Amino acid sequence: MKTSRIVPILAAFLCGQSFAQVVKTPPTTTVATLPVPVIDHAPPKEPIKKPDFKIESTQVKLIDVVESPPMSGLPPVEGTMTLTVHNVADPGLPDPPPPARPNVDDSKVLGGLEPSNVNRRDMGMVAISATVYDLKRTLLRCNIYGGTERREITAWSNIDFNHFCGVGNFEATGANKEVRSYSLMMCIGNENTENRSELLASKGVEYEGPEIPTIPDGAPAFVIQTENPDPETVTLIEDLHALYRAEGPRMAEAAAARQKAYEEKKAYLLANPPKPKNVTVNFWKREKPAATTTPEGGQP
């Protein structure tokens, strides 16, 4: 009797485990794309001309400062800065104009299609927490925020999600021709299991790494860990991998270029430590405009 009770439970557990370890790939009918950048051909703006300030008095102070480093891994910026404060006559500058509304050509963003001819669906904000292990496998925790509802899914991927750092939004089209539009908020961390193991071993602690499912290399693939996930969260994981299937080489190239630029800048700053910049401030008392009445009846 005891055996008959244990076997069904064990079988159910194993079935659940095998289901959770299924390797999936995005549907071949899903086409994901990055938005086409809109090129602004407007003439460059002329540099702002500084007014000819009439200096009435000047105060100079030397201040010892310690500023945050410009990049991680660099020492703080320390030194003495010169603060120069000029009291000047009112130059009579006009109020700045309100910011102009950007002129966006929707036909370019939508790949040449008229907005009225596109069945679009805004999937809302997607928060993605990605932990990349040894630049080979990524543990994803994704949340779709829509209204008051929060839907979460966890999955393992064979993609290095560092390549997604430059992606703020993208679109995916399924078999039903509906365009799904995503806005991404990425939080990416990296874990070097060898370095972490050596560090913990030096402290007498054994490193217990994550149990990463077996996912073959090659085509973008994933394993969902969440039981009974919301269908739209599954679609999100599929669309992310469909995007990498279509744009992976370009995304990897862009990530490599960012890393190279980062290392070159860091090396330059190490060889040429920055110093605090001197600051000059022009201060004046603006002439009061003629009294006007606000909508509430008071004075501005």
Write out pLDDT tens, residues 240-258: 999 999 999 999 999 999 9
Instruction: Estimate to the nearest angstrom the gap between the alpha carbon of 297 and the chain centroid.
Output: 45
User: In 10 A of CB 298, how many CB atoms?
Assistant: 7
Question: Is the model's pLDDT at 37 over the cut of 50?
Answer: yes
Q: What pLDDT score was predicted for residue 210? A: 92
Average confidence (pLDDT) over 257-276 = 94
Q: What pLDDT score was predicted for residue 265? A: 95
Question: Is the model's pLDDT at 118 over the cut of 70?
Answer: no
Average confidence (pLDDT) over 186-202 = 94
Q: What pLDDT score was predicted for residue 43? A: 67
Query: What does the DSSP assignment read for 46-78?
Result: PPPPPP---EEEEEEEEEEEEE--SSTTSPPEE
Average confidence (pLDDT) over 78-96 = 90
- Tokens 């001819």: give the residue: 117
Closest to 61 in 3D by CA, of 285, 283, 282, 280:
280
Closest to 151 in 3D by CA, of 66, 86, 77, 229:
229
Element at 31 (helix H, strand E): strand 31-33
Per the prediction, the chain carries an average pLDDT of 83
Question: Is the model's pLDDT at 7 over the cut of 60?
Answer: no
Structure tokens at 293: 């009445």
**Helix runs in the chain, H state only:** 2-20, 106-109, 193-202, 231-271
Instruction: Estimate to the nearest angstrom the gap between the alpha carbon of 83 and the chain centroid.
Output: 36
Percent of the chain scoring above 70 in pLDDT: 79
Q: What confidence tens digit (pLDDT) does each residue in 141-181 have?
A: 999 886 556 789 999 999 999 999 989 999 999 988 999 99
Q: What pLDDT score was predicted for residue 16? A: 40
Q: What pLDDT score was predicted for residue 121? A: 86
Average confidence (pLDDT) over 71-82 = 92
What whole-number distance in Å separates Cα of residue 196 and Cα of residue 282?
Answer: 52
CA gyration radius for the chain?
Answer: 28
Q: What pLDDT score was predicted for residue 110? A: 44
Q: What pLDDT score was predicted for residue 12? A: 37
The torsion angles phi and psi of 212, rounded to 5 degrees, stand at -90, 125
Q: What pLDDT score was predicted for residue 42? A: 58
